Amino acid sequence: STAAAAGHPLLSVRQGKGEVAGFFTEVGRCELHSFDILHMFSGDGQAAVHVRIDLTTPAGIRIVDDEMHRWEFDDAGRAVSMKHYADTAKHLAAWFPER
């Protein structure tokens, strides 16, 4: 994605437990005001979650965004993939205001 190519730490591709932990390290650099689950749909080993986030980035810019998180699970119920759908232009501007 454009955000991943730009090096956005919350919207870049990650694999494995260590990289997931790295994602949450980056989230910890933000001031999280709210993370609300608005809708959740599931079936056939997958789930879609509509969330609203409200956070202030390390650059000091506050954003509110509605996002979709699409999860896939294996037969044992373990998450095997997650795709994050967000307003990447809004996120890039808030994370990298100097660009």
Domain boundary assignment for the chain: 2-95
pLDDT, tens digit, 9 for 90 and up, residues 82-93: 998 999 899 999
Q: Which CATH class is domain 2-95?
A: alpha beta
* Dist. CA 36–CA 4, nearest whole Å: 24
Count of residues for the chain? 99
pLDDT tens digits for 50-74? 999 999 999 999 999 999 999 999 9
